[in-house]
Every structure is written in structure tokens, then in C-alpha cells.
A and B are shown apart, each in its own frame.
Chain A
Amino acid sequence: MLLNHARLVRFFIDANSIVGRKKLQKMIYILKKLNLPFDEKFAFHFYGPYSEELTLRIEELCNLGFISEEKQDKGHYLQYQYTVTDAGLSFLEQAPDDLPLCKDEIELLKAQSSRFLELVSTMLFFDDLALEEVEKKVHEVKASVNYSDADIKEAWHFIDQLKEGRVH
């Protein structure tokens, strides 16, 4: 019952807290691409893979009081911070989740900027293409973000690191 909600609450417990909606979206997408059982459906949007289903589910968790959402005014933009609450912890005791241990991956992802995670998730979105084609596609669809060759190289390295972590 409410397994998908329980998995997300577990994610927030493991992550401690997440700052930024874009970052949250990209983290879940990348974890899903690592075969972790997140059922939310993603599609490509202006800023890379995005899931409306995930956004709604987070809103449900906030409305239920399982996750707290704090809005921070950063001057020219707003930023949201998500943390699990005591009610969320209590929910998980009664509605257990089945998310495998992935705290290391979450830590690794959390340490990155949302700009970098946007690049990584975009590259993973095109993972059915050949390597050079992925890079060509990133330059095409992310022309306005202007990722450098060094950024892309770093992203490949990061993806290898993540995949290796899941294998071992």
C-alpha cells in the first residue's frame, strides 16, 4: 500500500535533505536509470528529464506532512528544501518500502550541482545512442547551457563511477 510514496520517504531519509526541485528531479531520474525501483514516469523537457508524476507525489507527501518543504527566497529566484518529518518516519514504520540500499549513490549525487546533474541525466536519457552521438545530442538540446567538453568528460566519468558502485 502506497509503496511508491514509501520509497520516496526512504529516499529523503537516506538523503537527509534535498535542496532544489531540479536537483531532486534529476537525482531520482539518475537513480531510476541505475535500476532502482522508482516507478515515476519521466519525459524529456526543456531542462532535461522531468516527471510530473514525481512532482505530484512530492506534493502529496508534503500535504500529508510526511515531507516538509521550506521555501527560501534567494533574491531573484526561490529555492525549495525538502526534509522528512516525524510523521514521515512513523508512516514508513507502518508502510514499509522496498528500496535497496543506495545511500552511497544518493550521497554522490547530492554532492553535485543541479547544472551538472542536468547534464548527467540528459546523457543518460540518450543512452541508446552511440557515445559520439550522445555528445552531439547534448550540444544540440542543451545549446543554451553551453556545456564544455570538459563537463561532458567529467559526466562520463561520473556515470561510470555510479554504475560501478551499483555493480559492486
Chain B
Amino acid sequence: MAYRDEKLREEKVFKDPVHRYIHVRDRVIWDLIGAREFQRLRRIKQLGTTFLTFHGAEHSRFNHSLGVYEIVRRILTNFEGRSNWNPEERLLCLAAALLHDLGHGPFSHSFEKVFKLDHEDFTKAIILGDTEINQILQRVEPKFPEKVAEVINKTYHDKLVVSLISSQIDADRMDYLQRDAYFTGVSYGHFDMERILRVMRPLDDQVVIKQSGMHAVEDYIMSRYQMYWQVYFHPVSRSAEVILSKILHRVKHLHNQHYRFKQEPKHFLSFFAGDVTLTDYINLDETIVMYYFQAWIDEDDVILSDLCRRFTNRKLFQYVEFNPKQQIKESIELFQLFEAINLDPDYYLVVDSSSDLPYDFYRPGEEGERLPIYLLTPQDELQELSRASDIVESISGKKRTDHKLYYPADLIEALPDDQPEKARIKALLGLE
């Protein structure tokens, strides 16, 4: 029997708190899960710094990847025998679902920003490079790794296949919303996924939703909206993210200044140089990063030591709301005051905006920006979701945006009361 069609003698199941069971019957999928590069995802947290706000949020990208695979498996079971669906694409969909986050690095968001990297490039590199994953995919057929990479990169010719993994209602979002809600313990993020899966239909080059399922989709859109403001963009998690990114900036700066580290940042050297190899990338995970942060607490550089202590011991920055239109002069004055008290504002006075953590709200696809969610009417006509749903229309119009100014309240409070800058800083930050 060809490797692509090979089945395990007995179905394997993973217990899962969100989907109850994850079912694996294909030998290829079982082998991919066992590959070194996939196992690495156990050491990358799904929600980065969110565990510092919601202590349960310790789940990994491994959990999520299995979840996305399981949702796609269920969708495809529902698609079996339907027109518009090519069953030959089944294994490709399952493999792409499982591997879609393979290139995520430790604390992805900050690492990507500071070192100008893109996890999607590394997903592609792992799939096409000299890796265990690549060897397994090659056994299916020589072109299979390329096809999987194209689906994940959203450049595969069959858009229907792409839309299962990446569209405005896809398996990725359906898993992470429920999984993140479960592990953070919040009551948002729940919706009737079984109902959505039952009303999904393949149509030409996209997945559409039977009109009768509109209310289940409304719930899903509302979950996305609430999870963004309540979990993903939580100001405390953002504070941790700000500190994390400043640690990376600081350590890079010190390296460029030939600072003599007590704990040499060996795992980071190629990141500083901008020539990260696949091996370096795969070798760096969150356990390694946290080891360095702990060690750097003992460095002589005061800024690096302080930032690492803050991140490790959760001594985060405080924040105030910031309106760049009305407060830009005040922020410039604050910048100067921080310099005057020898608190480097590049590290200790940080504006963070909602666009710094992009999260895709539902977009009705005006002017061909993004493909929207379409409802399939009983007359076989397509209707864009926000045109049919008042609820969706109300949250897909003008968006709430937000800017915050982060600062170390403890260091300001520790200034002597007779230091002239202290009162002015506190007044500008609204601390009096």
C-alpha cells in the first residue's frame, strides 16, 4: 500500500480538553506528530506572555496544532460525497492543518518584531528544508512538501483547500478561540462549533455557510471580538510583552557594543547578526529563552538586569491611557524628564497601540480587501454576513482603537520626594 494511503492498525486518540478526542488513523499524520520539529511546539506557548495575566494560559502550540487538525478532519468527514469537494485533497488538508504553526518561535510576536523575522518563512523552511518533517512529506510524493507549504502560505491553486486553514471562518480560529477561552478560564470564546461544522458547504473556491447557521456564526464573530479585548489585548499581558521586547532590544544593543556578558547569549548570536539558520531557529524555544532571562538578572548592566527581573518575577510596568492627539507634548516632556532622572526612556517609557498586536476582526470585504463570510440562501444565492446580521454589522463598522503609555511606577515612587522631576512626572502620568 502506498504510504499516503497507509492506515494505522488501530486508531490512535489523544485526550483533549476542548474537542474531547483527537483521532488519528493516517500513518503520515502519526509520523508527522512524532517528528522532532513538531514535538518542539510543546515548548512554545500558544499565548506568549498571557500566562502572566491568566495563570492557566500555559497551553502550547502543540495542543493547538492538534486541535486544528481535528477540526479539519471533522469538516472533511462532513464534505465527503459533496459536489465541489475533491477527496484527493484530504491528506494535504490534514497535513497543512497540523503543520500550519510549525515555524512559530519562542514568544513569536516580540521576536519577530525585534529581529525582523517572519514565522511563516520558517514554517516554509522547516517543511522544505533538511528536517524530519520534510522526509516524511517526501515519502508521500516528492512534490508533497511544496504543496503543504503553499497551502499554509495561502498560495495553493485550490482556494477551497486554503480556506479551510485560513479564511475568516477557519479551523485555526475555531480552535484557538475555544482553546484560549478554556485555558484562560474566561467565559467568552464559546460558540456552537458543531453547528457551524454541520452548515459549512464547499462551493467553488471557498467554504460558505448555510443561511440557517447564521446565528451560530454570529456567536463565533462575537467571541472573536470579546476575546480580543478581554484576553489577547489585555493591558497586563501587553505590559509583559513590552518588557520582553525591551529585553531583546537591550541584549542586542549590548552585544553590538561588545559588552562582556557573564552569560554569553550564544543561542541569540545569529539573531543579532540577521543570518538565522534553520538549525539555530529550531534550537531556540521558550525554555532556553527563560533560562537566559533568569541568568541575565545577575548581569552588571542595570537595565538588562532590571528588565529580566521584572519579566521573570512579574514586576510589570504600570500604564495610563494615552491619546497621541491631545498628549503628544506631554509625552515629549515626560521623555525629557525620564532622561533627567537617568531612566532611559527608550526602555522605560513605551507607547503601545492596538495595531502593535494585530488581530483580525471580521472584515466584510469592502473593496476587495479580504474575502468575507458568505451565507448560502435557500435560493442558492450568496449574501455577505454583515448584510444579513445586524449584530455582525454593528461590530464590523468603526473599530475601537487604543493606545497606552507604559512606565515603571515603582522606580518613580522610589525617587526622593524632594527631587523636582518626581512631582511633575507624577502629575503628567496622572498619579496624583
Residues of chain A at the chain B interface (Cβ within 8 Å): 1-2, 4-5, 20-22, 25, 39, 41, 43-47, 50-53, 55-57, 59-60, 63-66, 77-80, 87, 91, 94-95, 114, 125-126, 137, 140-141, 143-144
Question: Does residue B353 face the partner (Cβ distance < 8 Å to A)?
Answer: yes
B residues 130-162 in Cβ contact with A at 8 Å? 153-155, 157, 159
Contact status of A60 and B401, CB under 8 A, knowing A41-B118, A45-B370, A87-B325: yes
Question: Does residue B273 face the partner (Cβ distance < 8 Å to A)?
Answer: no
Contact segment of B7-15, B286-294, B354-362: B354-362
Contact B369 A78 (CB under 8 A): no
Contact B325 A66 (CB under 8 A): yes
Contact status of A22 and B335, CB under 8 A, knowing A63-B401, A91-B324: no
Contact status of A60 and B367, CB under 8 A, knowing A43-B120, A94-B329: no
Residues of chain B at the chain A interface (Cβ within 8 Å): 112-113, 118, 120, 153-155, 157, 159, 205, 323-325, 328-329, 331-332, 335, 351, 353-355, 358-360, 363, 366-371, 398-399, 401, 403
The interface residues of chain B lying within 8 Å CB-to-CB of A143 are 157
Contact B324 A141 (CB under 8 A): no
Contact A21 B401 (CB under 8 A): no
The interface residues of chain A lying within 8 Å CB-to-CB of B354 are 56, 60
Least CB separation from A66: chain B residue: B325
**Chain B proximity of A96: nearest CB distance (Å):** 11
Contact B360 A52 (CB under 8 A): yes
Least CB separation from A46: chain B residue: B371
Contact status of A47 and B368, CB under 8 A, knowing A87-B325, A141-B155: yes
**Chain B proximity of A124: nearest CB distance (Å):** 13
Least CB separation from B153: chain A residue: A44
Additional A-B contacts beyond A55-B363, A78-B367, A114-B368 (12; CB < 8 A): A1-B335, A20-B367, A21-B366, A41-B358, A45-B371, A46-B370, A47-B369, A52-B358, A56-B354, A59-B399, A65-B325, A66-B325
The interface residues of chain B lying within 8 Å CB-to-CB of A45 are 154, 370-371
